[in-house]
Amino acid sequence: MLRIYFLQHWFALSDPATEAALYDTPAMRCFAQIDLGQEPVPDATTRCQCRHLLEENKLGVALFDAVAVYLEENGMKVSKGTIVDATIINAPTATKNKSNTRDPDRHQTKKGKPWYFGMKAHIGVDSKTKLIHSVVATPANVHDSQVLGDLLHGEETRLWGDSAYAGQQSVLKDNDPKAKDYTQVKGSRHRKLTEQDKAKNRHKSKVRAKVEHVFHIM
């Protein structure tokens, strides 16, 4: 069931589509260790129940930690720099649960001019290897800076982030006092960015852009 769970995520398949793909694709059945001569493919309801068990027992966190340990044992270590960022996970606004109400964990938010409904994934990424070492899921209307403390591993010497994380020196001091703040300088109506500020932001963006590679894969 865990192998099927991975396949479903890797290929962005719904429960019915996963069942069809496993019947149609020998390579997927081989990976999932399913022999149709011995057993059928688990149906959509069974997979849904499996996901709920993972969520109820917080096994997603345990799997994430296990992967981190495996990577470290094989030489992929987290360094002293962390890049933080967040991305919206959009969902259909008409999605309702059994009580005909929206999922309380999802909310509306505005990014630019468009409105979105769903959740937000906040991640802390190693600035050298681009490994995700921290992840937090919140409703989409939670501001990026509100979970900054949860995205730090505590051993950073540098923190990189966009202007949404500006002005969080107190959070940085409480969670990682050794880290220097390399977040983007934020301008305002009353304080325009100087040419020096703009040059610093361009330099920071060269490092901070690595987090976009991670979101592209996600």
Summarize pLDDT for 145-159 with one digit per residue, the tens.
999 999 999 889 999
Kindly tell me if the per-residue pLDDT of 78 is higher than 90.
no
Are the C-beta atoms of residues 46 and 5 closer than 8 Å to each other? no
Show the tokens assigned to 61.
């966190």
Cα–Cα dist 138/119, whole Å: 6
56 φ/ψ angles, rounded to the nearest 5 degrees: -65, -35
Are the C-beta atoms of residues 142 and 106 closer than 8 Å to each other? no
Kindly state the greatest CA–CA separation across the chain: 72
Kindly tell me if the per-residue pLDDT of 212 is higher than 80.
yes
Are the C-beta atoms of residues 172 and 148 closer than 8 Å to each other? yes
Kindly report the average pLDDT of the chain as a whole number: 89
Are the C-beta atoms of residues 4 and 43 closer than 8 Å to each other? no
List 180's β-bridge partners, or say none: 158
